Amino acid sequence: MTDFTETEITLAMEAHECTREEAVSTYAASVRAYREAQRPVLQLEALRAARDEKLKFTDWWVLPDRTPTQAQLDYRQALRDITTTYSTLGDVVWPDQPA
């Protein structure tokens, strides 16, 4: 028998309205496969959220009454481009914020 997490078993029981034994023998593997398939999507969402938080703190640099430096513009662009290079928070190397 494969070791499934309690969450996987519970989700399978709820989704298929079945007993624990049926869930373990039949459905928990599909739940695990689905969760694994979703992992890259969730990791990218977490990366985007962290990136957006960093961008938020630099929004004032580009207000209409201000002229940002080229370093500030480059930093903001590097943040926006981060998801083309990285797909998880664990791998990302953040650009250095200019002074």
Supply 51's token pair.
């990136």
Q: Give the pLDDT score at 4.
A: 81
Q: Tell the burial category of 30 from Cβ atoms under 10 Å away from its Cβ (0-12, 13-18, 19+).
A: middle
pTM: 0.66
**Separation CA 60–CA 66 (nearest Å):** 8
Question: pLDDT per residue over 5-59, tens digit each?
Answer: 889 889 889 998 999 988 887 777 777 788 889 999 999 999 999 999 999 999 9
Instruction: Calculate helix-pair angle for 28-56, 6-16, nearest 10 degrees.
Output: 110
Q: Give the pLDDT score at 12.
A: 86
Question: For residue 2, what pLDDT band results from cuts at 50, 70 and 90?
Answer: low
- The larger pLDDT score, comparing residue 3 to residue 50, is at 50
